[in-house]
A and B are shown apart, each in its own frame.
Chain A
């Protein structure tokens, strides 16, 4: 403020940065995300992905299982996290189905059962019609109780999930014949968006199973840092956020590619979503640099102003 109480309007680039309305940043972010989506949506081109060890570990853990092994898939997410988790759910179900594993879907989130139905329809019904419901896969639906359900599954799986989603008694389903407890599944796959999710599965099931269950997980970006300490000890593999999904998707696509035939678009969802990530991240890096420039410019200005004031105040 000057001596008459009027605000001094700074000119130049630093002045613009200091006065910038944050809504222009929102608009820039919308363009940074929408631009790549339109480009990739029209051209079909995706960015190349190189799998990191955590994503490769998920892929190899499923490949290493003997064909026909029983796999328990827990869909612990809802449509609010679908943008991040649906692509990895699709790829996980696809790899398991292609390997011929027997799939048992459960959900500890109310809408997880519908998400599992969606994955079954998108992958198994559409591309693996030879697989029969009940014999090769089954959806046991949602069960309320969070950790209590996990604790019950440790000793009595049928008690935790007495019915299938269709209302059939679990004990009568062929794919579950011989299953008495959760340790009868050699592999547990969780797709997790929060509580209850991958962390609780590690704490209540994997740690209590004495190493009998191999667990891999795909989780949201918010959860990933919390789960990294469990890898590679208690977690055999980890897909962190959409990046992990894209890496894993590229591995599965490369393995299941049929000659020169293009990969169906539904199996490229995660890789398509890496385009807007790139745009948004570049914008954020630019904004962080600009923010720092403005910050240091202000700091220098204050130091210069303070120094001058100090010099004037000295006798």
Chain B
């Protein structure tokens, strides 16, 4: 598919704007960091025979460009606030990935597919690493081989009781059985741990759903159809009473009509049919509200990414006052 003339013009205009932005004003897409000395006191450990000591290192915290400008103006030879190559490259990669994902709106392309693959790969790897360090090491290995884990990575690991050790042995067996799914002949064995997982989950969910959704929501539906509201003097306030009563009537009528719509044992004719019809209207309004909220959420996410491109990358805007000087000089240059 060839680019139409309209899209060629749009692409050229955007590229030209970014090009102009890159060579005017006080720069764009740079990240600065400030060094901070950090130290912790390690107490003496008589058991290990180590003396009290102090561990010190330098941490680098990101600072707004105006902090760098101010530091440079005060002392051009300073090394406390410096330009960060690593974080700047990270920022440009983030900007590239954002634009690559947006490029799918035009059509599928290699940049989009590359970015998508990176996101999927990084997410999967992160989940695996997290699962290993947050679950397997502290909970499983920490219970079964506490001394090894303490000496290896978690010196502050607390001792587990025998009940915890037994529970973890059980979990380990179930986990191994679950992996039998990969075996060509022993796949059926994985059904046992799966049955355990489904049983426990169902048990947990049934109780909570009955408590919080069935009972609590049923109770919340029993509302007075006339709800008297009083003002500061204690007298009945007319309009608040009308509105509160109307709200309660709408809730009660909505619940009854929606239930009627889903009641298929009686033919939807006459009063039942009219009630079901009103139920459909309630459902449609609910779906509309849900769609509206979803759109609002998606627009907010889009706005956040566009803000990132304009603020952190292009330095076109400065809502948080991070640069001030660069943004204004750029506008003056334009």
Contact = CB atoms under 8 A, between A and B. Distances in A.
B11 to A, nearest CB: 11
A284 interface: yes
Contact of A44 (B6, B319, B331): B319
A277 B299 contact: yes
B293 interface: yes
A217 interface: no
A268 B321 CA distance: 12
Nearest to B299: A280
B97 interface: no
Interface stretch (A2-10, A198-206, A293-301): A198-206
B204 A41 contact: no
Contacts of A144: 130-131, 134-135
Interface stretch (A30-38, A93-101, A247-255, A307-315): A30-38
Interface in A109-145: 110, 142-144
B205 to A, nearest CB: 8
Contacts of A208: 208, 211
A208 B204 CA distance: 12
A163 interface: yes
Contacts of B134: 110, 142-144
Contacts of B216: 207, 233-234
B306 A241 contact: no
B311 A110 contact: no
Nearest to B219: A233
Interface residues of B, number: 51
B121 interface: no
Interface residues of A, number: 61
B289 A225 contact: yes
Interface stretch (A56-64, A81-89, A175-183): A81-89
Given A81-B301, A203-B208, A273-B304, A41 B311 contact: yes
Contacts of B281: none
A208 B211 CA distance: 8
A42 interface: yes
Contacts of B307: 37, 41, 273
B299 A222 contact: no
A110 B204 contact: no
Contacts of A276: 299, 302-303, 306
Contact of B156 (A24, A37, A163): A163
B52 interface: no
Interface string A225-236: 100011001100
Given A82-B304, A225-B289, 14 more contacts: A23-B106, A30-B306, A41-B317, A80-B301, A81-B301, A84-B300, A110-B134, A144-B131, A144-B135, A169-B158, A204-B204, A221-B298, A266-B320, A281-B295
